[in-house]
Structure formats: C-alpha cells, structure tokens
Chain A
Amino acid sequence: MVTRGFTGRRPPRPEAERLPPGQYLTEDFPVLQLGPTPKIDLARWRFTLREGSKPLKSWSWTEFEALPRTRWKGDIHCVTKWSKFDTAWEGVTIDDLMAAAGIEAPTPYLLAEGYDDYTTNVPVADLAGGKAMVATRYAGAPIPPDHGGPARLLVPHLYFWKSAKWVKGLRFTQKDEAGFWELRGYHMYGDPWREQRFTGD
C-alpha cells in the first residue's frame, strides 16, 4: 500500500545494499536492554558451558583472556530497526572455545545466558565455523558495560538480541528452546535479511 504523500529519504545506493529490509543506518551505538546495566566484578566473573544443568567447562576471567583471540569487523542489525556498519570486535570464537574445552557440541541447540538472567536461543550451527564469538573488546577497548561488557555474545548475522549481553555461559539444550524475547513473540531464528522479527515473519 502506497502511503499518501510519503516520499522518504533514500539512503545512497552502496549504503542501501548493505541494509536489510526495514532497517536504517545509525552512526551512534544505541542500547537495547530490559533493565539497568548489571555491575559485574571481574574477580568473580566466570564463563561456563553446560549441558542442561551439568557444567562441561568453566573459565575465570584470567583463563578466558588467555584463550586464542580473533578479530571481526562488520555490520550489526537491531530488531528496533537500526543498523550500524563496520563495528570492530575482538574475542574468542565458539570454535576456539569448544576446542579449548576439548568437546564437541553435545546437542544442536543452545541458550546463551546473561548475568541479568536474560536468555536467547541460537542453533549451534550458527555459532560454529567462525560465525560467532564471545567478544570482550569493542573498537580496540574493553566493551563498555552498557554494550554488554565485560563479555557479550556476538552473532552478527542474526538480529542483535541474539548477541546476549553480559554473557555468563552457553547451555546446550535437546531441542530449540525459546529464550526471553522468543517467549514474548520475537522470532525463534531472527535472520535480518529475511526480516524475521516476530513469530510468523
């Protein structure tokens, strides 16, 4: 349906091609979260892989900082419609994490869990093969608390609510279980290029 009188402000072509449907480019870095930013003490921080409730492997901050590191630069897309180009992150890929733990993924699904009790589901296949990391640095500096520091998941090919902030671990699940937003009508997978914002998209 054409909206009477709407012409729009089209982004230039190269920019438009990098924007998934329904998104606009922002230069700022907006924040999306449920509540206040949690205060996390690095001395007590841990990152844990679990299968159900059973811990498989756990790292302290110092141990985590010693894992192999990878840099990634690219575009991120938030379901609230903003996209940001050329964001630069550094952290530990999920491949390197699994290798360091000496395990294979026990199930094809998992829930990322945050220190704020946030959860979000991601298929393991979307984290493996260099597609995702647990990031600890943004733009060359530790990730600010408002953006999920000390560590956040980074799954840039999915809407950014999948990139859980203040991540404390990954919990492998037998089936694809809905996380916080997925239980509230947001899409189980969340591919921005197919505009999978909500259930049924």
Chain B
Amino acid sequence: MPTPLTWQDATITAAVPETPRVRRLTLAVGWPAPFRAGQHVDVRLTAPDGYQAQRSYSIASSPTTPETIDLLIERLDDGEVSGFFADVAEPGDAIELRGPIGGAFVWDPRMGGPLLLVAGGSGVVPLLSMLRHRAEAAPGVPALLLYSARTAEDVIARDELLRRDAEEPGFRLMLALTQGPSGRRIDAGRIAGALAALGMPAHTFVCGGNPFVSAISDLLVEAGLPARTIRTERFGG
C-alpha cells in the first residue's frame, strides 16, 4: 500500500545560478519512502493571509544521496512560483514540500538499458537524476541524452554533461541548439542519428514542454520504437 504523503518543512541549504534563467536550489529533506530517479516533489508556498500556491518540480539529484535534493527551477515571465524561487528564496528559508511523487516516469538500475533520454529545455531535470544514478549504480548501461536547448549558455549542467560524455564510455551527449546561425530543432534525422549511436533503446524517457513532448514522441514512434517503451513527462506550456 502506498504511504501517505505528508507536507514537511524543507530548508534551503544553497541557491546558485545554474544558467541565466535557471536557479539551482538544494534542500534538506526527510522522505517517507526512498525516491526513484525521475520523480518529482510538490512545493507549497503560503502568503501571510493564508493564500497558497502549489507547483511540481522534478528532482535533479541522484537517489543515492536522498537527504539533500537539488531542484532546478526556470524563471518564467510573470511566473508566480518560479519568480519567487528566482528572486526571493535564499539559503536558510524553509518551504513546504511533499513527495516523492510519480510512479511512471522513473528509471532504476534494475530496468537496465539501453536508455534513450530526450530533453527539451528544463525537461532535462528528471533525466539528470537518471544519468547521475546510472553513473553510480549501473555504469555499464548504455545511455544517450539528446538535449534541445536554446543556446549553449542555456544548457543545464553543461560542464557535467560534457565531462560525462568525455569520461563515461557508455554515455553519449547529443546537443541540439535551436538558436543561432546553425540552430536546428530535433527532427527525424537527429532521432535516426541517436538510434544509430545507441542501438535500439529498451527504455526511452522524453521530458519538456507540451508541444516538444508531443512532437518527439510522434517522431520516436515513426522511427519504429514500440510505444510501450516510451515514457513522457510534460512540464506544461
């Protein structure tokens, strides 16, 4: 039987810029159950008059260090909650949080690979948790991240991803930068290239905004991937 998810106070222990639009928040948490790579938490903010806002954020860090988690929050124009995390939240603040949430968009080492991960923008966050977990617990599982971002400076965890690409034999990074002179979206050719490099994936995870996830999952099905091997997570938008 699933355990009830209760709200807890989590303290922000660090807050640093990750990219010009994304801030990384580290939180100290206690869990009712272990979390799995790909899951998210709900956060709840309360104003002095009792008004509340709730949003979901994926966990970027690996489940092997569950006592602190990293959230990567992208500032949206006029964003009620992302604006608070971008401009107001500071280390030492406590926020209400509950989780872990989500039982479909998860990968754990027992599932094996090859693992195809496709990200649009901040959709890379839950995939980072999978990659970090893979490197520690199952480095033999072949994995490829196809990651679409606006520009090179918008690439979340860029140094880490480039280092993993260079150092980890089983991991490949393919970046698709959409802006600038050679800007290109992920198309059927890019998917074919990823599949040629990785082989037929046993599991595919696609995460990003709504139109991105719809477009990519159609391309993957057209490329011959069985629909039941593809899992999607949509952040909205």
Q: Chain A: residues with CB nearer than 8 A to chain B?
A: 1-10, 21-22, 24, 26, 28, 30-39, 80-82, 116-117, 146, 180-181, 183-185, 198-201
Size of interface on B: residues with Cβ below 8 Å to A: 47
Chain B residues within an 8 Å CB radius of A10: 51
CA distance A9 to B80 in the complex (A): 6
Q: Chain B: residues with CB nearer than 8 A to chain A?
A: 1-6, 9, 44-48, 51-56, 78, 80, 84, 88-89, 93-96, 98, 101-104, 210, 213-214, 217-218, 220-221, 227-228, 230-232, 234, 236-237
Give me the 9 closest cross-chain CB pairs, A-B, nearest first.
A200-B4, A184-B103, A185-B2, A36-B217, A5-B88, A3-B45, A22-B54, A6-B45, A9-B80
Chain A residues within an 8 Å CB radius of B94: 1, 3
- A30 CB to closest chain B CB, in angstroms? 5
- B19 CB to closest chain A CB, in angstroms? 23
CA distance A185 to B101 in the complex (A): 8
CA distance A111 to B141 in the complex (A): 37
Most buried by B among A3, A8, A39: A3
Is A34 in contact with B236, judged by CB distance below 8 angstroms? no
CA distance A28 to B46 in the complex (A): 26
Is A38 in contact with B227, judged by CB distance below 8 angstroms? yes
CA distance A5 to B86 in the complex (A): 12
- B111 CB to closest chain A CB, in angstroms? 15
Is A199 in contact with B3, judged by CB distance below 8 angstroms? yes
**Nearest-neighbor residue (CB-CB) of B227 within chain A:** A36
Most buried by A among B53, B55, B218: B53
- B146 CB to closest chain A CB, in angstroms? 16
A-B contact pairs, 11 of them (CB 8 A): A2-B46, A3-B45, A8-B51, A26-B236, A30-B234, A31-B210, A34-B232, A35-B228, A81-B54, A199-B4, A200-B3
Is B46 in contact with A3, judged by CB distance below 8 angstroms? yes
Chain B residues within an 8 Å CB radius of A81: 54-56
17 further A-B pairs in the complex, CB-CB below 8 A; given A2-B48, A9-B53, A21-B52: A3-B46, A3-B84, A3-B95, A4-B93, A5-B88, A7-B47, A8-B47, A8-B52, A9-B78, A28-B236, A30-B210, A31-B214, A31-B234, A39-B221, A80-B56, A117-B228, A201-B5
Chain A residues within an 8 Å CB radius of B101: 185, 198
Across the interface, B52 reaches (CB within 8 A) one of A5, A9, A22, A82, namely A22
